[in-house]
Chain A
Amino acid sequence: MSETKEPLFSKKNKKLISDPLNLNNPVTIQVLGICSALAVTVQMDNAIVMSIAVLFVLVMGNLIVSLMRNLIPSKIKIIVQLVIVAALVIIVDQVLKAFVYDVSKSLSVFVGLIITNCIIMGRLEAFALGNKPWASILDGVGNGLGYGLILVVVAFFKELFGSGKLLGFEIFGNSVEQTGLYAIGYEDNGLMLLPPSSLILVALYIWIQKKRTPSLIDDH
Chain B
Amino acid sequence: MSINKEGNAYTMTFAIIMVVVVGGLLAYIASTLKPIQQANVKNEKMQNILQAIGLEETNGVSREDAGKVFNDYITKRIILDYDGNIISELTNQDEIKGSAKKLKDEKDAFNLDVRKYYNTLTGLMKKYPEGGTEYEDALKSEGIAYPLFVAENEGETFYVTYFSGKGLWDDIWGYAAFRADGTTINGTVFDHKGETPGLGSKITEDLFQNQFIGKIITDENSGEYKPIKVEKPGGDYNKHQVAGLSGATFTAVGVDEMMNRSLAVYNKYFATLKSTSVLPMTDSVPAMDSIPMVVDSTLLATK
Contact = CB atoms under 8 A, between A and B. Distances in A.
Given A80-B18, A91-B26, A94-B33, A193 B198 contact: yes
Nearest to B21: A87
Interface string B25-63: 110011001001100110010000000000000000001
Contacts of B18: 80, 83
A148 B69 CA distance: 40
A98 interface: yes
Nearest to B15: A76
Interface in A21-71: 42, 71
B197 A73 contact: no
B207 interface: yes
Interface string A70-81: 011111100110
B153 interface: no
A83 B26 CA distance: 11
Contacts of A42: 197-198
A169 interface: no
B262 to A, nearest CB: 24
Given A90-B26, A163-B198, A71 B14 contact: yes
Secondary structure class of chain B's binding surface, majority of residues: helix
Nearest to B193: A108
Contacts of A83: 18-19, 22
B6 A74 contact: yes
Contacts of B33: 94-95, 97-98
Interface residues of A, number: 28
Contacts of A108: 193-194
A172 B104 CA distance: 51
A56 to B, nearest CB: 14
Nearest to B23: A87
Contacts of A112: none
Contact of A87 (B10, B26, B44, B194): B26
B198 A73 contact: no
Contacts of A73: 5-6, 10-11, 14
A176 to B, nearest CB: 6
Nearest to B198: A193
B131 interface: no
A98 B247 CA distance: 34
A190 B199 contact: yes
Contacts of B40: 97-98, 101
B44 A101 contact: yes
Nearest to A91: B29
Contacts of B199: 190, 193
Interface string A189-218: 010011000000000000000000000000
A172 to B, nearest CB: 15
12 contacts: A73-B10, A75-B11, A79-B15, A83-B18, A94-B29, A95-B33, A97-B37, A98-B40, A101-B44, A163-B198, A190-B199, A194-B196
Interface of B: 5-6, 10-11, 14-15, 18-19, 22, 25-26, 29-30, 33, 36-37, 40-41, 44, 63, 193-194, 196-199, 206-207, 247
